[in-house]
Amino acid sequence: MMCIPHSGAGTVSQTFVKEKKPKKHIQKPSKEMLEKGDPDFVDERTSSYKPKKKGSFFDDLFS
């Protein structure tokens, strides 16, 4: 019985051509934008964050 080498398996199709994807590049923000913030920023939050008030069980029960 002969062993098949790992590189000699040939299971990959030779007709398949892999497309080259364009590299994803995110532009580095300018120093002015880092200091002053983005002028085009729109705050879409509907409400501000308010931490839940912690009370004892009896405070919740009698209120």
For residue 51, the SS3 value is: coil
Record the tokens describing residue 54, joined without a space.
Answer: 């912690």
Amino acid at 39: P
Q: Measure the CA dihedral 32/48/46/56, to 10°.
A: 160
pLDDT value at position 8? Answer: 57
Model confidence, pTM: 0.28
Instruction: State pLDDT tens for residues 6-62.
Output: 665 555 566 777 788 888 888 888 888 888 888 888 878 777 777 777 778 887 777
- Taking the C-alpha atoms of residue 33 and residue 38, their distance in angstroms, rounded to an integer, is 6
pLDDT value at position 19? Answer: 83
pLDDT value at position 59? Answer: 78
Phi/psi at 33 (5° precision): -65, -35
pLDDT value at position 13? Answer: 62
| pLDDT surpassing 70 at residue 2 | no
Phi/psi at 8 (5° precision): -100, 10
